[in-house]
Structure 1
Amino acid sequence: MKYIYYLFVLILFCACQKKEEGFVVRGVIAGYPGTKIFVREIIPGNDAWMNDTLEVKNGKFEYRGKVESPRLIYFIPQDFLGRYELFLENSDIELNVENGHYRAMGVTGSKSHEEFITIRRDARELLMGYSLCEKQKNEAFKTDTELYKRLEDSTRVWNGRLLRFLVDRVNYSSSLVLPYFASEWMKSEDIQNMESFINGLNSEARNSVYTQYCEKALNQAKKVQPGNAAYDFVLQDIDGKQYRLSDFKGSYVLLEFSASWCGWCKLEIPYLKQVYDLTRGKKFHMFTINLDKERKLWEDDVKKESLPWPVLSDLKAFDGGVAEEYNVSGIPVIFLIDPEGKIVTNKLRGEGMISFIEQLSF
C-alpha cells in the first residue's frame, strides 16, 4: 500500500511539471552532402538577418530555441541553392526534404506552418493578378502615361482585395500567421484597409512582430497624408551649404527622392526639368534628396546629372533620417508641399506631374 501511495505521488508530481516551452525542429534532408545548414530570418522593415548555423550529420539536423510569437524562418543549404521555408512556433516540429529539393518538403507539428501554406495556396490567383498588373504598370511607365495611371489604380484595387482576403479568413482575429502576409502585401497608401485589419486582431495577434511592423508603417503613412505638415528637415548639398525646408514657406516646394543607382529615377529627370523651366522665377523651389549611403556616389551623381536645382543628402539612405520621416521605402517618390508647409501630394510622376503643376496658382 505504501508503494502504491509513493507511486501515486510520483505520477502526480510528473503530471504537475510544466512542459518546457520552446521549439524543437528535427530536420531530415535526404542526400544532403553538406555538414552545415544556416538559419535565417528577415525582420520586417529591416535589412538585418537573425542568424544561426546548425551542424548536419548524415542528412539530419536539430534546431532548438524559443520564439515570442510564430514567425517565418528559412533553412539555407550550405551551397545556397534554394531554401526551406518554415513557419516556426513553440512546438515539436519535423521537417523532411526529399532528394534535397526545397519544394518537396514535408512539415509536421507546426499548426502555424499549415496555416501559412493554406493561405498562400488560397491567395494564389489574387497574387498572380496583382503581380501581372504590377508588371504591366512598370512597362507602361516608359511608353503610356495614361495607361500607367489606370494600372496604378488597378494595382491599388488588387492590393485592397488581398487585404480583404485576409480579413475574410475564418480565424482572422486570432491568427498569428495573417499578420505576416499583411506585412508583405500592405501598401502605404492603403491606410483604411490596413487600419481595419489591425483593429480586428486580438491582443495576442497584435503582439506579433509582423503586426508591430504594420502598425509602425501605418503610423508613418498617416504622417505623410495630404494636408499634414511636412517634416521640417535641414540637409546640405555636396558643398556643405545647408537648406531648411521651413525657410521656403510662402512658396511651393517639390521634393524628389532619388539615388544614383535608380533607373526609374533617371527617367523622371526630363519631366523634372520641364517643371523647373515651367516654374522658374515663380514662388516654387525644387530639391532632389539623394538616398545614397556613400558620399562619392552622391557627389559623382550630382556632377553627372548637373541638375539646376540643389541635390541634398544625409547619407542615411532608407535607414532613418529624412527618408523615414517621409515614409519613403521605394523610389522615385515626388512630394509637393504648399506655401503653408503642408503636403499636397506624393503621387507626382511623368506627364501627370507637369499637368498637375500647370494647374497651380503661384
Structure 2
Amino acid sequence: MVHLRFINTDRIQIKLLLVTVIYILSLNFSSAQDYKIIGMTSDLPDGSKVSIRNLDSNDPMVTTEINDNRFEFSGKVDVEPSKFIIRIPDLESTEYTFFLVDNSTVTIDVRYKKYLNHADITGGTIQNEQNSYRNLIAKKKQAYDSLRKLEREAEDPDLKSEMLSKRSKILFEIENEKEKYIKNNSNLEYAAYLIDDWKMNKPNSEVQILYNGLSDRVKDSKYGKNIERYLALSQEMTEGAQLKNFTLKDLDGNPVDLEFFREKYVYLDFWASWCGPCRKQHPELRKLYQEYKEKGFEIVSVSIDSDDSKWREAVEKDKLTWTNLIDYKGLDGDVAISYKVSAVPISYLIDPNGKLISRYFNGRHDLKQKLANLLAD
C-alpha cells in the first residue's frame, strides 16, 4: 500500500519568510552598532593616503588609500560619541580637522576644497549638532581667521597691534555666542561637549554654572560625566593658589609625594617622550638645575607616556638627573586633570610653601630670570 503525505507549503513559506526577516534584522542591528566614514575628494591620484584616529581612545592612527576619489573607513566606537582627527597629506593644505563620530554613517566631502577644515562633514547626531553651532558662528569665525592671517603677514608693529585688538574683540563675541548656545540648548549633548572642550580656559565657578544648567540626561552623557569629574578634581591655577599634593612613582617604582619638596622652589614639568617641544627645553633645564640645585631648587618631571620603556629611554638620552615621575593614565589621569593639563608641555613654578608662582605653556618660560631673582646670593 502506498501512503501519500501532503506537505503544507504555506507553513514552509511562512517559516522561510520568518528566517529571512530575522536574518535581515540581525544584519541591520549589527551594522547599527558600527560606524562608517565615507569620503569624497577631487583631483587626487589613486593611492593617496587618508588617515584617521580616535582621539578619545588609545587606538593608533588608521590609514587607507583613495580610489577613484573615494575613501572609506569602518569600525566601532566603544564609548559614543568620540572625537576623531583626519589628515589627507596630498591635499594642497596638509592641515587636519576634527569631527565627532557615533556608531552611524559619516560623510566627509572634500571635493574642490583647498583646506581640509573646510570639508562638509555630515552624519551622526552630535556631528550634525556641531554643524548647526558652527553655522551660527561662521561669519564671526571667518572674520577672526582673516584678521589672524593679516596679523601674521603684517610687518608694521602698530598694524599687528591693531589686528590683534580687533581679533580679540571678535573672539569675545564668539565666546558670548558659545555661552548663549550652551544655555539655549541644555538638552543637547553637544552643549556638554562645548563645555568639556572649553573648561580649561574658564574659571571653575563659571564651568560649574554652565554644567548646572544642563539637563539631567545630558549630565549623564559622556561629556557631562567628563565635566563632573573635572569639577571634582581640578583646582584653580591662579597666582598664589595653594596647590594639591599628589603621589606618583619614580624610575625605581617608589611612590613620591609632591609635598616632599616643600621648602624648595619646584619647577613641575608635564611632558612626554614623543613631545618635541618638551624635550627641546631639556638642555636649558639641565643648566639651570646644575646652577641652582644646591640653592633650594628642584625639578619634578611628570611624564604622561603610556609606554614605560620609551619614557625611560628618553630620560636617559636627555640626561634628566632630577626627580622623574610617570602617570600612565596620561591626560586622563587624576593628576593631569587636577593640574589642568590638556596638552604638553605645560609647567608650573611653585614656591617653598606649595603656592603657585607662574604657569608656563609650550615650553616658553622666564625661569632663568625668575630663579636669578628668587635665589640670588
Specify the TM-score bucket, using the shorter chain as the normaliser.
0.5 to 0.7
Q: TM-score of the superposition, structure 1-length normalised?
A: 0.58
How many correspondences in the alignment? 294
The 3 A distance-change label for structure 1 pair 195 and 353 is farther
Question: Which residue is equivalent to 2:374?
Answer: 360
The question of whether the paired residues in 2 share the 8 Å contact of 1:163 and 1:185 is answered with no
| Deviation per residue, 1:76-99 (Å, 9 max, x gap) | 9xxxxx99978879xxx9999999
The question of whether the paired residues in 1 share the 8 Å contact of 2:327 and 2:333 is answered with no
SS of the residue corresponding to residue 201 of structure 1 reads coil
Q: Given the alignment of the two structures, is residue 167 of structure 1 paired with residue 179 of structure 2, yes or no?
A: yes
Aligned counterparts of 1:255 and 1:272: Cα–Cα separation in 2: 12
Instruction: Tell me the percent identity.
Output: 22
How far residue 116 of structure 1 moved from its aligned partner, in angstroms, is 3.3
The 3 A distance-change label for structure 1 pair 128 and 215 is farther
The 3 A distance-change label for structure 1 pair 242 and 130 is farther
Question: Which residue is equivalent to 1:122?
Answer: 136
The question of whether the paired residues in 2 share the 8 Å contact of 1:163 and 1:186 is answered with no
The 3 A distance-change label for structure 1 pair 193 and 288 is same
The question of whether the paired residues in 1 share the 8 Å contact of 2:55 and 2:83 is answered with no
SS of the residue corresponding to residue 341 of structure 1 reads coil
Q: What is the 5 A alignment of 1:1-362? A: 47=58, 115-125=129-139, 127=141, 161-169=173-181, 171-188=184-201, 190-191=203-204, 193-222=206-235, 224-225=237-238, 226-237=240-251, 239=252, 243-320=256-333, 322-347=335-360, 349-360=363-374
Letter paired with 1:317: G
The 3 A distance-change label for structure 1 pair 194 and 297 is same
The question of whether the paired residues in 2 share the 8 Å contact of 1:87 and 1:116 is answered with no
Aligned counterparts of 2:121 and 2:271: Cα–Cα separation in 1: 42
Q: Whose relative contact order is higher, 1 or 2, with alpha carbons under 8 Å and at least 6 apart? A: 1
Q: TM-score of the superposition, structure 2-length normalised?
A: 0.56
Aligned counterparts of 1:293 and 1:222: Cα–Cα separation in 2: 24
The 3 A distance-change label for structure 1 pair 267 and 209 is same
The 3 A distance-change label for structure 1 pair 339 and 42 is same
SS of the residue corresponding to residue 347 of structure 1 reads strand
Aligned counterparts of 2:121 and 2:346: Cα–Cα separation in 1: 41
Aligned counterparts of 2:130 and 2:257: Cα–Cα separation in 1: 47
How far residue 255 of structure 1 moved from its aligned partner, in angstroms, is 1.4
The 3 A distance-change label for structure 1 pair 124 and 234 is same
| Structure 2 stretches lacking a partner, 5+ long | 1-28, 41-51, 61-78, 87-95, 153-159
| Deviation per residue, 1:184-208 (Å, 9 max, x gap) | 3443555454334323334444333
Aligned counterparts of 2:373 and 2:249: Cα–Cα separation in 1: 29
